[in-house]
């Protein structure tokens, strides 16, 4: 569940405090219930550094990572998108009557197409919306409701 969101969790942790890679893995392990491996954390740190979302400085033979202003802006945008998304999902979690399905499908398609592409969780949200739209197109209102409920719970954990 958390694999696709690890970059987001790294930025979120670094927004709270500067830390070395090992400490970051430990903090994420405590927060997520599963400690990420060095093989997953360090490539993410390098990628975030290249994108200028974090910076790194050497202190006492340790690399200490800090979130940058652009990283904070990116994180803020991602959190706003998450809040907007959860609000939209809650709208669609209502019991889907057959006559509502067509309008809900159109609303989801519109919102799916308007999501910002720069946000770290946008690709997963796009996929989520695509599946929900397919369920609505296939007349599977109950399956859509169940799917939305499950995904909302996952997103709230982020």
Segment 6-30 shows an average pLDDT of: 93
What architecture is domain 3-67? Orthogonal Bundle (1.10)
Please give the Cα distance from 84 to 143 (Å, whole number): 22
pTM: 0.58
- Percent of the chain past pLDDT 90, that is, above it, reads 32
Residue 62 sits at φ, ψ, to 5 deg, of -125, 145
Q: SS3 sequence, 92-148?
A: HCCCCCHHHHHHHHHHHHHHHHHCCCCCCCHHHHHHHHHHHHHHHHCCCHHHHHHHH
What are the boundaries of each domain within the chain?
A: 3-67, 78-156
- Which range, of 26-30, 112-116, 147-151, averages the lowest pLDDT? 112-116
- Chain segment 125-142, per-residue pLDDT in tens: 666 666 776 766 666 666
């Amino acid at each position: 569940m958390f694999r696709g969101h690890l970059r987001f969790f790294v930025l979120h942790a670094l927004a709270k405090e500067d830390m070395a890679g090992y400490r970051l893995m430990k903090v994420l392990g405590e927060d997520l219930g599963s400690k990420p491996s060095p093989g997953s954390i360090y490539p993410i740190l390098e990628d975030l550094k290249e994108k200028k979302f974090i910076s790194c400085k050497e202190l006492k033979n340790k690399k200490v990572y800090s979130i940058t202003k652009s990283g904070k802006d990116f994180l803020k945008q991602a959190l706003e998108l998450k809040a907007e998304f959860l609000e939209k999902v809650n709208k669609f979690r209502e019991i889907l009557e057959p006559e509502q399905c067509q309008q809900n499908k159109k609303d989801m398609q519109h919102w799916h197409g308007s999501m910002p592409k720069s946000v770290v969780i946008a690709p997963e949200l796009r996929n989520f919306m695509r599946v929900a739209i397919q369920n609505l197109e296939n007349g599977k209102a109950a399956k859509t409701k169940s799917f939305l409920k499950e995904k909302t719970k996952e997103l709230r954990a982020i």
